[in-house]
Amino acid sequence: MDEPLKAPAARGKKRWQMSDLPHGMNDNEAWRKMLIPTVYWHFGNQRDVWIYDDDKLASDLGKIISAVYPSSLKQRVSVDGPIFRIVSVFFSYITGADDRL
């Protein structure tokens, strides 16, 4: 498995964008059409959908990515990387939290 993606050393908070995702993650709009709905389904089936732990979310995202994408795109997800942060934006729309980016 690849090394976790890490935020570049920079001043202030990095605002992740779709262009920061690993190459191929948005091919055929897989991010929007497959990954995000799968993430919603997965976490919607948790015991408490309103509370989730960042480390668990990162771990579960890695498993979801393995299921959605071909083996060449398996990524280890870190809480300070673009995959986690961009998915967190989608969660913020549901939970009302806006401090994820």
Give pLDDT tens digits for 15-71. Answer: 888 899 888 888 888 898 999 999 989 888 888 877 778 888 899 999 999 888 877
d(CA 61, CA 75): 9
| The token pair that represents 38 in the structure block | 């799968």
pLDDT of the residue at 100: 46
Q: Kindly report the length of the chain.
A: 101
* pTM as predicted: 0.72
d(CA 14, CA 80): 9
Beta strands in 1-101 (DSSP E): none
